Structure 1
Amino acid sequence: MKLAAVGLLLAGVATADPKADYAEYCAECHGAERIGAIGPALTPTTLKRMRGASLTDVIRDGRPATQMPGFGAFLDAPAIDELAAFLKTEPDHIPEWREAAITASRTLDEDYVAADAPIWDADPMNITIVVETGDHHVSVLNGDTFEVLDRFETPFAVHGGPKYSPDGRYIFVMSRDGWVQKYDIWSLKQVGRVRAGLNSRNIAMSGDGKWLAVANYLPNTLTILATDDLSVAKVIEVEGKGGVPSRVSAVYQAPPRESFVLALKDVPEIWEVFYGSNPPHYGFAHDWRIEGPAKNKDPFPVRRITTKDFIDDFFFDQSYEYLIGASRDGKSGQVVDLVIGHKIADLPLAGMPHLSSGITWKRGDTTIMATPHITEGLVTVIDMATWQPIKEIRTEGPGFFMRSHENSPYVWVDVFFGENKDVMHVIDKQSLEIVKTLRPAPGKTVAHVEFTKDGKFALVSIWEDDGAVIVYDALTFEEVRRLPMRKPSGKYNVWNKITFSEGTSH
C-alpha cells in the first residue's frame, strides 16, 4: 500500500470516500480491480478466510512480518470502517480465468531464435540470475567474473524463486499477478509469456522439465503449463473435502516422487499431483486418496493428505520423503511422511518459522535442519533423526532467509525485520555458534544469500531501491565486489538450483 495524502493529514481533513481511499492507499499493491498484484486479492471470498486480526485492525495497524503497513495516521476510525465495509462488497468485475483465458493471453516472441550454444563465454552451470524488484528486471551474471551478461524486463512484481529447466538453459519467472515468463539464457532472449492466474503464489518445475505448476490465490486453481510452448496442459480446481475452495499457499516439486506437492491455505490438506508416466498406486484410507481416473489415464492424478492443521509454508528433507511444514499461526510445525501419508512428529517452532527458507546439513553422524523465524530473533536447529530441537541460536532480530553450500562450513542468515535489518549473521555448521556478524550497509536492509557453483563466494543483497549485490569471499568474509542493483530481492545460481543443493531452497 502507498503512503500518501500527507497534506490532508496536516490540514486535519479526513477523506470519507472508500473507493477513493482504496485507489489512494491500496490499489498499488492489491490491484485497481482488487484482484491482487504485489499483495493478495481483496474480495469477500478471500477476506472471509483471513485469520488473526480483524480487517479494520489490519488497515489501522498493518500486518506484522509482512510489507503491509498501518494507515491509522492517515485515515480516521470512520474512514477505516467504511474502507473495510467496501472491501467486503463484491468487486464490479472479477474476470473468469480458466483454460480459454489463459490460452488467449499467451504470446510467443516472433523474433526469438534459439541459439545452438551459449552466445557468451562463461560456465553455463555457474550463471546466477538476480531478480531486481525495484524496477522489475532480472540481471544475468557470469558467476566467475560477476559481469552482467544481460538485464531484461520481467512482469510486474516477481514473486517466489524463478525456476530453471533441468539443463539450466531456460528460466521461468512468475509475477504476483499471474504472468509466467520464459527466458532463454543461452540466447539472452525472452521466449514468451502467459498469464496462468490472476493472483499467484509461486511456481514449480517438474523433474523431467516438461511441466510448470503455477499456484494461484485467484482463482483457486493449480495451472499446469507445458514448458516447451507455455500452452495449458491442465487447470486443476482446488477444493477441499465438502467442496470448500482454497488458495494454494505453496507448490514445490519432489523429483524422486515425480510429483508436485501443494499446501492449501484454506483447508487442512496437502495435495500431491503426479506428472510421471507411472504414478504410484495408493489404496484408499480414511485421510488420503488418489482422485481422477484410473492410473495412467489421467496425466495429473491428485492424491490428498489430510493434515491436523493448515500448512502455509514447508520444505523437504533431501530424500523428499518428509515434508516439514508450519502454520501461519506461528505456534508449531509438523512433519508429514509422504510415503504413508500421515504426520509423524510435531515440531516446537514458535515465532512463525520461515520454512521455505529451511536448509539441512550433516553434523557429525546425523542430519540437521534449521530455520529462521519471522517474528522472533532466533534460528531453530532440529535433529532430523529424532525431530527434537538441538539448539536455539539467538540473533539480533527476526530473519527471513538462510543459505549455505555443501562446500561451506558456514550458514548465512539475515535479520530482515526490525531495527537490526542491516545485519547478516554467519553461523558455524558444527559448533552452531555465530562466528561473524556483517553490517555491509548500515541502516539498510540486508537479505538473501546465494553461493557460486563451487561455494567460494557468497552473494548478499542490499534490499533497497538504490541497493547492490555484494560479493564476499565465503571463507574470509572479505568483500570482493559490489554490483549496483535496484532492490535485488533474490539470487539464483544454476548449478545450486538444478542439483537441489542442501544449502538452498528447492
Structure 2
Amino acid sequence: MKPLHLIFAAVAFVGGPALSETMATGDLGLVIERASGSVLLVDQSDRAALARIEGLGDLSHASLVYSPDQRFAFVFGRDGGLTKVDLVERRIAGRVVQAGNAIGGAISDDGALVAVSNYEPGGVRVFDADTLEMVADIPTGSKTIGLVDAPGRRFVFSLWDAGETWIADLSGEAPHITRIEGIGQNPYDALITANGRYYVAGLFGEDGLTALDLWAEMPEPTQVLAGYGRGEEPLPVYKMPHLEGWALTGTEFVLPAVGRHEVLWVDARDFTETARTATHGQPVFAMARPDGRQVWVNFAHPLNDTIQVIDTVTKQVVHELSPGPAVLHMEFTPRGHEVWVSVRDAGKIMIYDTRTFEKRGEIDAESPSGIFFTARAHRTGL
C-alpha cells in the first residue's frame, strides 16, 4: 500500500454536518474515551475535536498503533477486541474479538502485521493488517505483557507467570520463537529503545528491571536497579506504572519506581543507577519532551490530579500543574511545543505550552484516557 498523506474524503464533524474537503493525516490523533467505547479524532494545529467514532467495545484499558501511512489506527481493547479505524473516512474499517481479555499490541516494522497480547487465554495472536485475518497464534501458557515491535518483522513480549521474554520472528513462513528465561518475577510492562536495540522489562514481583540487548546473537538478561527499594517498606500500588511512555533524556533513562514516590535515573549505556528524584506521588507515566530537556510525570490515585515537570539537567522538579481530577495520560506534539493531557473526571483534554506552562486550549471528551498522535506511526515501540 502506498503512503496516503493527502486525500479527499467526506468528513463528519462533531456536532456538525458532513462536508467534502482536502485532508492530511499527519496532524491528527485519537483519544480513547474509556467509558463509552469510542475514540475522539482530534486535530493538533486547530486544537479541536473533529469526529467521534463509536462501537469499539471495552476501552477501560486500551491502546493503539498506526499504519505507516497514518491512515489507519489499530485499537486494542480490554475485551479482546482488535478494531481497525479509518481516520480519513472516520469509521470502523474492521473489528474482530480475538480473545477474552487483551492487554495491548504492536504493529510490525513493515506495517503488514498487527500483534495482540492476551491475558485470557494468554499468548500472542498476529493478524494481517489489511484484512484482520489471523496469520499466527502463539500460545504461551501465561499472561503476556510488554508486547513491542522490533526491527526485522519481530515482536518481543514477556510472560507474567513464567518470568520469560520471547522474541517472535515472523519474517519467514512460520513464527520462529526465541525463549529467554531468568527475566525476573512478574514482569508487568516493558519498553524498547527507539533504535530497537534494548528491551527493558519492569518487574512487579521484585525491585528492579531486566534489560536484553536484541543486537546480541542470543540475548542474555541483565539485571537493572536490582533491589532499588532495599530496606524500605513498599507502599500500596494503586495503579501500575507504565513503561511504554518511557523517557530517554540524552544518555539516561527516567523510569517510574513501583510503590515509591520517586523516579529513577539510569545510564542508558550500562544500565547503572545515576540518580533519584522525589515526586509528588507514585508515578504512572514519566515521559520525556521530544528534545529530552523535560520529563513530565503524572501519578496514581489518590494524588492523580497533579503533574510535575522535571528538568533533566538539574534533575529537580521545576514546575507543578493541577489540571483536574484523574490525570491519566500525556502526549507531546511531535516537536514538543505542546503537551496534551487527559483529565478523565473533568471530561477534558487540556493543552499546555511546554515552555511557559500556560494552558493553550481544552477539548471536551467522554472520560478520556490515552492520547495518540499519528506521528507514532514512525517510531519503534509506539
TM-score normalised according to structure 1 size:
0.66
- Equivalence map 1:171-320=2 (5 Å): 171-238=73-140, 245-254=141-150, 256-276=151-171, 296=172, 298-310=173-185, 311-320=187-196
1:436 shift after superposition: 0.3
Per-residue CA distance 1:299-322 (angstroms, 9 max, x = gap): 321111112423222112232222
Say whether the 8 Å CA contact 2:307–2:321 is kept in structure 1: yes
Q: Deviations over 1:18-60 (max 9, x none)?
A: xxxxxxxxxxxxxxxxxxxxxxxxxxxxxxxxxxxxxxxxxxx
Instruction: Identify if the C-alpha distance between structure 1 residues 346 and 116 changes in structure 2 by more than 3 Å, giving closer, same or farther.
Output: closer
Query: Structure 2: which 5+ residue stretches go unaligned?
Result: 10-20, 235-239
CA contact (8 A) 1:158 1:173 kept: no
Q: Which amino acid aligns with 2:41?
A: V
Question: What are the equivalent positions in structure 2 for 1:1-400 lying under 5 Å apart?
Answer: 117-119=7-9, 120-121=21-22, 123-153=24-54, 154-238=56-140, 245-254=141-150, 256-276=151-171, 296=172, 298-310=173-185, 311-338=187-214, 339=216, 340-348=218-226, 349-350=228-229, 354-362=242-250, 367-400=251-284
**Amino acid paired to 1:215:** S
Q: CA deviation at 1:140?
A: 0.6
Change (3 A) 1:408 1:490: same
The separation in 1 between residues aligned to 2:65 and 2:257, in whole angstroms, is 25
Whole-Å separation in 1 of the counterparts to 2:119 and 2:42 = 32
- Per-residue deviation at 1:116? 7.9
Aligned residues of 2:125 and 2:136 also touching (Cα < 8 A): yes
CA–CA distance in 2 between the matches of 1:353 and 1:175? 19
For residues 124 and 38 of structure 2, what CA distance do their matches in structure 1 show? 26
Q: CA deviation at 1:472?
A: 0.6
Deviations 1:102-138 (A, max 9, x none): xxxxxxxxxxxx9981535554212121111122211
Aligned to 2:353: 473
Selected match of 2:306 from 416, 423, 426: 423
SS in 1 for 2:304: coil
1:377 offset after TM fit, Å? 1.1
Query: Quick one: distance in 2 between partners of 1:484 and 1:116?
Result: 27
Range 351-360 or range 445-454, more displaced: 351-360
1:456 corresponds, among 337, 354, 363, to 337
Unaligned runs of 5+ in 1: 1-113, 239-244, 277-295
Contact 2:347 2:365 in 1 (8 A): yes
Q: Which has the higher helix share?
A: 1
Q: Cα RMSD (Å) of the superposition? A: 2.1
Residue type matched to 1:371 in 2?
A: L
Letter in 2 for 1:262: F
Choose between structure 1 and 2 for higher RCO, CA contacts under 8 A separated by at least 6 residues: 2
Percent identity between the aligned chains? 25
Distance 1:384 1:116 in 2: 38
- Partner Cα distance (2:193, 2:334) in 1: 21
Aligned equivalents of 2:50, 2:63: Cα separation in 1: 20
SS at the partner of 1:422?
coil
Mapped to 2, the partners of 1:207 and 1:386 lie a distance apart of 27
Q: Kindly provide the amino acid, as one letter, of the partner of residue 346 in structure 1.
A: V
d(CA) in 2 for partners of 1:176 and 1:445? 20
Q: Are 1:371 and 1:402, in contact at CA under 8 Å, matched by a contact in 2?
A: yes
Alpha-carbon distance in 2 for matches of 1:176, 1:454: 31
Q: Describe the superposition over 1:418-460 as per-residue Cα deviations: whole angstroms up to 9, x where unpaired.
A: 3x3211001112221111000122xx12231101223211101
CA distance in 1: counterparts of 2:342 and 2:41, whole angstroms: 15
Q: 1:158 Cα shift? A: 4.8
Alignment CA distance shift 1:345-1:374 (3 Å): closer
- Aligned in 2, Cα 1:369/1:191: closer, same or farther, shift over 3 Å? same
- Contact 2:305–2:323 (CA under 8 A) maintained in structure 1: yes
The residue type equivalent to 1:357 in the other structure is G
Q: For the residues of structure 1 that align with 2:265 and 2:52, how far apart are their CA atoms?
A: 38
Aligned equivalent of 1:432: 315
Moved more, 133-142 or 302-311: 302-311
CA offsets 1:148-200 (integer angstroms, 9 cap, x no match): 11101121225342110111110011211111111111121211111111111
Most deviating of 400-409 and 132-141: 400-409
Which residue identity is paired with 2:175? F
Equivalence for 1:62: none
Distance 2:327 2:159 in 1: 31
Task: Please tell me whether Structure 1 or Structure 2 has the larger radius of gyration of its CA atoms.
Answer: 1
Q: Deviations over 1:76-116 (max 9, x none)?
A: xxxxxxxxxxxxxxxxxxxxxxxxxxxxxxxxxxxxxx998
Q: 1:116, 1:378 → 2: CA distance?
A: 44
SS of alignment partner, residue 26 of structure 2: helix
Alignment partner of 1:401: what SS? strand
